[in-house]
Amino acid sequence: MNKIVEYFEKPNVSKAVRYIFYTSLVLLLISEFFVEKHVYFSWAAFPAFNAVFGFISCVVIIVVAKVLGKLWLQKREDYYD
Amino acid sequence: MTSFLPPALIFIAGAALIPFLNGRLRQAYIILLPCFAFLNLLNMPEGNSWILHLWEYQLTFVRVDKLSMVFAYIFVIMAFAGAIYSAHEQDKLQLTAAFVYAGSALGVVFAGDFITLYIFWEIMAFSSVCLIFAKKTQKAIKASFRYIMVHLFGGLLLMIGILMHVAETGSIEFTLIGLNGLASVFILLGFAVNAAIPPFSAWLTDAYPESTVVGTVFLSAFTTKTAVYTLARGFAGTDLLIWVGITMVVYGIVFAILENDMRRVLSYSIINQVGFMVVGIGIGTELAINGVAAHAFAHILYKALLMMSAGAVMYLTGRSKTSQLGGLYKTMPLTLIFAIVGAASISGFPLTGGFTTKSMIVAAAGHEHIIIIWLLLTLASAGVFLHAGIKFPYFVFFAKDSGLRPDEKKLPINMKVAMGFLSFMCILIGVYPQVLYRLLPYPVDFVPYTGYHVVSQLQLLMFSALAFFMLLKYLKRTETITLDTDWIYRKGAKIVFSFLSIPVAWTYNKLEYVLLEKVPNLAIWYSKNPLEAMKIGANNVVVSMVGGKEAQKRLEKEKAAYPGTVTQWSISTALVITLVIFVIYLILFFF
């Protein structure tokens, strides 16, 4: 187990992991064209719809959460004491 | 009577023995009891049984149909996994409470009428609070007190609803009610408290993370999912629930992103996941209800798995705040793997339980062409990956190295076995979903593994991951807590109280001053020289009415001289005066 951990800690391996991640993103975008689409709404069939939607969703969620947290929701840990 | 026992009886009566068993015997007993309950389940034919006549009512302890069975199967499987996880636990209070809790949840699921349901509903509240109380820290005790207060309130709403319902319809049978009339509103509110529907949700995220390592695992499974069951049974197809559910979904994500405590992150994620189920109940089609049951099944597996891995981290490090954790992958690789299986499942990666179950609910929204709900559910699917799929494992096991090097060998073997079992189950229903689909309430006509579904889901998730890592610096952990609706009774009540206390305290102080100071002092002053005092009093009245400087001066002189020399009367004089008064009294009395 330790050897596996050490292996992944090597700088060039962790860099490779990152490139594998990027490659998988590209592959996912390409593979969309090789599958038969069945969608509930016609606009959902637009190329890369899910990728763009997922990305934007997360950005929106993070921004909204952050703004709410900063302005209102996040308090110091001893708030209730 | 019948060839099987009510599962609730097996667990609750079985729990009574736990305090008397020790060592290996107890370990074997708590693991074998759920196995026995499972075999018992296989032996239960459809229909009502274990019927008890009470006054003019018929209490049905066991109603077997497909909907109750699928929840019963997962509850028993969960009790089994939980029993393995807690086999090392020495605290008998926790083990007993956990079994009573699981039993009462099964009691609710099999209850055919409202009275039985209500009885088990309350047993569930009282047994579960023991699991929070069992941590015995000041924080846990306070949280358990808040927890039971909220649940008693919820139970009260449910009871009001049930009484009104029985008065209106004359029937105690628990079937589809739907939202019509005041009685159904109260029943729905009672269920909503246990389903952690905002604003009645804060009890969950307040109390669960304060429980013990073992307690949280049990808690994460039963209360909310029995509420999902009762909602699916009583309120399927209630449109309002679609919007309620989608609120839960979004609310859970936003709060989970802000939260620092890892078990609290996972608790918010329960609300988010239950939100998916509530949306499905609101849609109410066969596909949707199938989705609800399947998702509840899968959710119990992976949420318990995630809570177990968080519990393992807590067991070894004693810490729960993600800001104090990180870098644990170096020494806890096995726990990391289990956590990742759980995280992948909750996110709905292909080959895991989430992919084959949650997508049914999203598909149901698509089938009904509710665009906004479908979009928000898809957004939420990305958001789930963000907060539970990446945030939890990343900040606990990777991120900045906390310097902690917990030795995974010190983790009891049974905890690892339990996590391994649940990981296996998550993957099993991901790879071979038919085993679960066969149990669902309606025939399943849903194919999870199509090329497009796999590709589109992976796109959604992988690009969410991209967004996570791109915005990582904005997700930096902060040592904060997050305000929730528990503010109303933790802080708001204090403010209301202080507002109320100002007039109350003012009145009290005034009354105290007058009754305990002014009046006695006056009496003392008067008794020093009653005759002179009366004279001063009379002069006071005269002076205030007539005025005059001379008179005022004389009055002040009199006051200063008070009490002055008191005229001493001999006893005989006093006796004569008394006798005279007595004679006058007698004359008045007789004539």
DSSP, res B480: E
Least confident of B34-43, B314-323, B555-564: B555-564
Q: Do B480 and A76 touch (CB under 8 A)?
A: yes
* Domain shared by A29 and A52, yes or no: no
Assigned domain for B485 exists: no
Structure tokens at B398: 């990777």
Which residues are within 8 A (CB) of B372 and not within 5 positions of it... i.e. 6 or more apart? none
Assigned domain for A8 exists: yes
Which pLDDT value is given to residue A1? 67
Task: Please say if the pLDDT value at position A3 is more than 80.
Answer: no
| A53 residue type, one letter | F
Averaged pLDDT score across all residues of chain B: 93
Task: Please say if the pLDDT value at position B436 is more than 80.
Answer: yes
Last residue of a domain, one of B235, B268, B294: B235
Inform me whether the C-beta atom of residue A3 falls under 8 Å from chain B C-beta atoms. no
Task: Please say if the pLDDT value at position B277 is more than 80.
Answer: yes
Assigned domain for A66 exists: yes
* Domain shared by B189 and B90, yes or no: yes
* Domain shared by B321 and B270, yes or no: yes
Q: Give the CA angle between residues B212, B216, B221 to the nearest 5°.
A: 160
| b (16+ CB within 10 A) / e for A31-50 | ebeeeebeebeeebeeeebb
* Run of H or E residues at A70: none
Inform me whether the C-beta atom of residue A80 falls under 8 Å from chain B C-beta atoms. yes
User: What gap in Å lies between CA B98 and CA B475, rounded to an integer?
Assistant: 36
Kindly state the average pLDDT of the residues B531-553: 84
Tokens 């509930």, located at residue: A40
* Domain shared by B221 and B249, yes or no: no
Structural domains of chain B, count: 3
Kindly state the average pLDDT of the residues B388-415: 91
Tokens 């898809």, located at residue: B378
Inform me whether the C-beta atom of residue B373 falls under 8 Å from chain A C-beta atoms. no
DSSP, res B478: -
Assigned domain for B304 exists: yes
CB B280 within 8 A of CB B340: no
Assigned domain for B498 exists: no
Task: Please say if the pLDDT value at position B237 is more than 80.
Answer: yes
Q: Which has more confidence, B104 or A6?
A: B104
Q: Do B457 and A50 touch (CB under 8 A)?
A: yes
Q: Do B482 and A32 touch (CB under 8 A)?
A: no
Assigned domain for B489 exists: no
Cβ atoms within 10 Å, residue B489? 17
Assigned domain for B496 exists: no
* Domain shared by A1 and A31, yes or no: yes
Q: At residue B569, what are phi and psi to the nearest 5 degrees?
A: -100, 145
Which pLDDT value is given to residue B494? 84
Domain range for A73 is 47-81
* Domain shared by B545 and B462, yes or no: no
Inform me whether the C-beta atom of residue B258 falls under 8 Å from chain A C-beta atoms. yes
CB A59 within 8 A of CB B475: no
Domain range for B555 is 529-590
* Run of H or E residues at B54: strand B47-54
* Domain shared by B242 and B183, yes or no: no
Distance (Å) from the C-alpha of residue B254 to the closest C-alpha of chain A?
A: 5
* Domain shared by B118 and B24, yes or no: yes
Q: At residue B553, what are phi and psi to the nearest 5 degrees?
A: -60, -45
Quick: pLDDT tens for B549-568. Answer: 888 888 888 888 887 777 77
Assigned domain for B86 exists: yes
Share of chain A above pLDDT 90, in %: 48
* Domain shared by B266 and B371, yes or no: yes
Task: Please say if the pLDDT value at position B276 is more than 90.
Answer: yes
How many pairs of residues across A and B have Cβ atoms under 8 Å apart?
142
Kindly state the average pLDDT of the residues B521-542: 86
CB < 8 Å to A51, chain B? 459-460, 462-463
Sign of CA dihedral B570, B576, B580, B586: positive
Share of chain B above pLDDT 90, in %: 78
Structure tokens at B549: 């400087």
* Domain shared by A51 and A31, yes or no: no
* Domain shared by A52 and A29, yes or no: no
Model confidence at B527, in pLDDT bands (50, 70, 90)?
Answer: confident
Inform me whether the C-beta atom of residue A55 falls under 8 Å from chain B C-beta atoms. yes
Total length of chain B: 591
Assigned domain for A3 exists: yes
Kindly state the average pLDDT of the residues B154-175: 94
* Domain shared by B316 and B292, yes or no: yes
A-facing residues of B in 462-491 (CB < 8 A) are 462-468, 471, 474-475, 478-483, 490-491
CB B95 within 8 A of CB B212: no
* Domain shared by A61 and A81, yes or no: yes
Kindly state the average pLDDT of the residues A30-42: 90
Q: Do A61 and B254 touch (CB under 8 A)?
A: yes
User: What gap in Å lies between CA A66 and CA B273, rounded to an integer?
Assistant: 21
Assigned domain for B517 exists: no
CB < 8 Å to B340, chain A? none
CB < 8 Å to B466, chain A? 25, 55
Last residue of a domain, one of B172, B207, B235: B235
Model confidence at B538, in pLDDT bands (50, 70, 90)?
Answer: confident
Which pLDDT value is given to residue B291? 96
* Domain shared by B445 and B342, yes or no: yes
* Domain shared by B438 and B539, yes or no: no
Assigned domain for A62 exists: yes
Nearest to B373 by CA among B300, B275, B464, B254: B275
Model confidence at B528, in pLDDT bands (50, 70, 90)?
Answer: confident
Quick: pLDDT tens for B217-233. Answer: 999 999 999 999 999 99
Q: Give the CA angle between residues B499, B485, B207 to the nearest 5°.
A: 115
Assigned domain for B407 exists: no
User: What gap in Å lies between CA B15 and CA B30, rounded to an integer?
Assistant: 9
* Domain shared by B159 and B250, yes or no: no
Assigned domain for A41 exists: no
Count Cα atoms within 13 angstroms, Cβ side, for B224.
38
Structural domains of chain A, count: 2
* Domain shared by A25 and A1, yes or no: yes
pTM above 0.95, yes or no: no
Sign of CA dihedral B91, B92, B93, B99: positive
Q: Do A5 and B458 touch (CB under 8 A)?
A: no
CB B153 within 8 A of CB B231: no
CB B111 within 8 A of CB B61: yes
* Domain shared by B300 and B158, yes or no: no
Assigned domain for A40 exists: no
Locate the chain A residue with the closest alpha carbon to B365: A40
Tell me which range, B51-60, B460-469, B534-543, is most confidently predicted by mean pLDDT: B460-469
Quick: pLDDT tens for B478-496. Answer: 888 988 988 888 888 888 8
Last residue of a domain, one of B453, B473, B493: B473
Q: At residue A12, what are phi and psi to the nearest 5 degrees?
A: -70, -25
Model confidence at B340, in pLDDT bands (50, 70, 90)?
Answer: very high
Locate the chain B residue with the closest alpha carbon to A64: B254
Model confidence at B452, in pLDDT bands (50, 70, 90)?
Answer: very high
Kindly state the average pLDDT of the residues B120-147: 95
Q: Do A5 and B382 touch (CB under 8 A)?
A: no
Model confidence at B1, in pLDDT bands (50, 70, 90)?
Answer: low
